Amino acid sequence: MTLQILLIEHQAADGLYPFTSTHCSWEVRTGAFTILERWVQAVPQAHVTVHSHREMHLASFLERYPHIAPFQQAPTLIVSGHVLASPSVMQQLADTCAASDQPIILFCGGNAVGAFLPNGVADPRDARVQLDALDVDQCRTIEISGHLLNRLWQALDHIDTSIGWDAALIGTHVHPTATIHPSAVIDESHGPVLILEGAHVGAHTVLTGPVVVGERSTVKPFTSLEHTVLGPVCKAAGEVTSTILQGYANKQHDGFVGHSYLNEWTNLGAGTVTSNLKNTYGHIQAHLPWGVEDTQRMFVGLLMGAHSKSGIGTRFTTGTVCGISSNAVYEGITPAAIPSFWWAPTDQSYQIDKAIAVARTVMARRMVDLGPATEALLRHESGAS
């Protein structure tokens, strides 16, 4: 029987704020693929599906990705969705499970992150209960090589490695339908440059690998990309380094963005810049809804939630955390934390009906509908539900 791989969310998925305010942890993108997409590509013989205890987030995901494989009763490898592993580790793990008729408990960095259940589970909602019921003293255990993404800035650490993984999975670096202006410079001396289906690279651009230009994404003329991932249907211009644009994101004007993670449907106004290094060269503090944390990193720029935007000339301070559906329109440097559904600098909340109407308009311009489950999630996150 076909092996089933079930990605589930860990109990602390909210720690990937602001990304997981609107998305599930397996949607984090570190290269050409998200965590889920990499499992599908790396283990094509398996049946890959998902489940989350956060019901509204799961409903939104299934609405946005209706073709995800449905859950079935089969031998099941359960893995937490925030585990970042290489394709070779994924395939080796699948092979080990396929050859076993006994339960196996998985550890990563000493943390329990999943298990193989040869008899499967009757319902994905029971997966967590069955995992907790396994006795580590009575089961085979495997320590897998990988990383746990508990905070969003950790995804930035794995851009270069992930692009290398995905280049091997994809094979060709430039899709036949992609277009590259003859004056563009593609530098792969330090890593691959992947230009995917329908992407366009404009005149006098410099792409210094590792870099991904996602499906139907556009790199505007005179742009510099370095150690950067553009997901599908993005637009990039200016100078972008060590940054991830999840997909459907716009940074199509001059200005520097570095060591940042921009979620879907974000839009940076002309001249927007991010600071990614303190004058003291010290560790950067992240101001999160539950408190201030030391990122243990010298470089962190902007972490921006879905549907948020900046006005022209916005200057984001080092390590800015901006929630979802907010508008950052500042004359000076922004504060370190911008709440969700906020219209700055008026210090007024962004009315949910207006935010929904704008989101629907923005998405329609890219031929994407705002579905009822995703709208319900946005309303829930705003506190309006």
Q: Is the whole model's pTM more than 0.75, yes or no?
A: yes
Quick one: 205 and 78 in the same domain? Answer: no
List the one residue out of 270, 281, 284, 327 whose CA is nearest residue 304. 327
Same domain, 175 and 140: no
Both 226 and 134 in one domain: the answer is no
Residues 321 and 353 in one domain: yes
pLDDT mean across residues, the chain: 96
CB–CB of 262/176 below 8 Å? no
Domain that holds residue 260: 153-382
* Pair (358, 257) in one structural domain: yes
pLDDT tens-digit readout, 279-321: 999 999 999 999 999 999 999 999 999 999 999 999 999 999 9
Instruction: Out of 118, 150, 182, pick the residue that ends a domain.
Output: 150
- Same domain for 325 and 361, yes or no, is yes
Task: Report the number of distinct structural domains present in the chain.
Answer: 2
Average pLDDT over residues 115-140: 91
Instruction: Name the domain boundary from 120, 150, 180.
Output: 150
Indicate if 237 and 309 belong to the same structural domain. yes
CATH of the domain at 356: 2.160.10.10
Q: Are residues 121 and 172 in the same domain?
A: no
Contact call for residues 144 and 95 (beta carbons, < 8 A): no
**Residue 260 and residue 138 in one domain:** no
User: Two tokens at 185?
Assistant: 């410079």
- H helices of the chain, where? 35-42, 55-64, 87-98, 127-133, 159-170, 352-364, 372-382
What's the CATH number where 9 sits? 3.90.550.10
pLDDT at residue 82 above 90?
Answer: yes
Same domain as 218, residue 289: yes
Same domain (yes/no): 136, 166: no
How confident is the model over 5-51, as pLDDT tens digits? Answer: 999 999 999 999 999 999 999 999 999 999 999 999 999 999 999 99
Same structural domain for residues 196 and 140?
A: no
CA 289, 109, 27: angle at the middle one, nearest 5? 50
Which of 150, 177, 193 is where one domain is finished?
150
Give the model's pLDDT for residue 328: 93
